[in-house]
Amino acid sequence: MKKTSNAVQILNRKFCKDSENREKVEQFSLNIQAAELIYEARTTVGITQQQLADRIGTKQSTIARLESADYEGHSLKMLQKIASALNKEVCILFQDIKTDETKLVTK
């Protein structure tokens, strides 16, 4: 088996021998990705959590929660609000799990 330093791949190898654990790791991975994307988009624009919150009509604590890897409530509607406030758009990809080949891109 090929060595990796990718945390999600390591978790998959160690804990995903059954489907329940695999689903938990996949969901956690999606939460991390969403949080990182929000953080990166906001900081690239150069605004604070409070400034983003003001732009979308919410509280700074909501933005902090959305940028947390532990948060499980990301919604497409909120992601679209954030993207719009940062002059960006949300893109959704469906990728083949085994080859990472992109199957569908929606903008």
Task: Quick: pLDDT tens for 37-66.
Answer: 999 999 999 999 999 999 999 999 999 999
> For the domain that residue 71 is a member of, what is the CATH number?
1.10.260.40
Distance of alpha carbon 98 from alpha carbon 35, whole angstroms: 24
In a domain, 66, yes or no: yes
In a domain, 1, yes or no: no
Instruction: List the domain range (segments joined by +) for residue 65.
Output: 7-106
Report the domain count for the chain.
1
Residue 98: band (very low, low, confident or very high) from pLDDT cuts 50, 70, 90 = low
CB contact at 8 A, 77 and 56? no
Is 2 part of any domain? no
Beta bridge partners of 98: none
Tens digit of each residue's pLDDT (9 = 90 or more) over 23-45 = 777 777 888 999 999 999 999 99
Greatest mean pLDDT among 8-22, 46-60, 85-99: 46-60
Are the beta carbons of 90 and 80 closer than 8 angstroms? Answer: yes
| Residue 13 structure tokens | 């190898």
